[in-house]
Amino acid sequence: MRNEVALVTGAAQGLGRGFSEALLRRGAKVCVADIKVQTGEATVLNFQQQFGRDRVFFVKCDVTSEEDVKAAVQATRGRFGKLTIMVNNAGMSSEAEWSKMVDVNLKGVIVGTQEAVAAMRRDAGGQGGVVVNIASAAGLIPVHTTPVYAATKFGVVGFTRSWAANPHLPSLGLSFSCICPTFTDTDMIVHDDSRKGRCLYSEDSQRVMAEVGVMPVSQVVSAFEQLLDSPDNNGVVMAVTNIKGVRIRRHGRPSRL
């Protein structure tokens, strides 16, 4: 990955931080983009101490702002000369703030993908690249405790698969895939405000989490690395879970979760 240049949104903490660290460990250069400035800058300082000052930088970026996303892509290209890996990871879970959640989880991924495509497409001066969108198991199976969150993640899966189905991708040099984890040990599962939303029986969420279990961030990061290492990852919808019986399917859905 010596020549790869990545932009990871929502990378100040949690999964985005884990993906960024893995990319840096493998030799890529990384732009850490997040709305949280203090946490993002502290993360980047830590990374610079481990991997070198010139390999990673922070950009304040709200993925609900097209201007911010465009500026983050431009900053990455300005600093490192190109963009070859886009990880649209920024997300939130709040049924109470459902409209904002649609903006962050779905529109943010759409804008991030569009800007990455514009920067990476070979026919417009880019060097090709990979778009990895972070969806969720809630984008593959119904989740009655968080229906709006599930809607955004089903949207991300459909959006990614639709890009992946484009027959012109080989000449553009692009690939599109997404990762669909079950519960993972980050801040997101701590701040559960689903009871304030409009769904019914949201109190079931703690029981569902106990049944499904919670994975460490490292497990999802390993899956991410496996995806990047796959020579043909276009169209992969990767379920990541401890529940037995789930297989990775190309252009399909897991047999069961």
Ligand X SMILES: NC(=O)c1ccc[n+]([C@@H]2O[C@H](COP(=O)([O-])OP(=O)(O)OC[C@H]3O[C@@H](n4cnc5c(N)ncnc54)[C@H](O)[C@@H]3O)[C@@H](O)[C@H]2O)c1
Site of interaction with ligand X (CB under 6 A): 9-10, 12-16, 34-36, 61-64, 89-92, 104, 134, 136, 181, 183-184, 186-189
Rounded Cα distance between 27 and 47, Å, is 12
Q: Rounded to an integer, what distance in angstroms lies between the CA atom of residue 248 and that of residue 58?
A: 33
The nearer residue to ligand X, 38 or 49, going by C-beta atoms, is 38
149, 154, 159, 224: the catalytic one is 149
| Closer residue to ligand X in complex, CB, 5/63 | 63
- Cβ distance to ligand X smaller for residue 136 or 205: 136
Burial classification of residue 171, based on how many CB atoms lie within 10 Å of its CB (0-12 exposed, 13-18 middle, 19 or more buried): exposed
CB of 26 to ligand X, least distance (A): 20
Q: How far is CA 240 from CA 80, 112, 188, 209, 227, in A?
A: 31, 23, 17, 15, 11
Q: Are 4 and 27 in contact (CB under 8 A)?
A: yes
What is the nearest approach in angstroms of ligand X to the Cβ of residue 171? 30
- Closest separation between CB of residue 237 and ligand X, Å? 13
Nearer to ligand X by Cβ, of 1 and 35: the residue is: 35
Least distance in angstroms from the C-beta of 253 to ligand X: 16
Active site residue 201: no
- Using only the alpha carbons of the chain, give its radius of gyration: 17
Residues with catalytic roles: 149
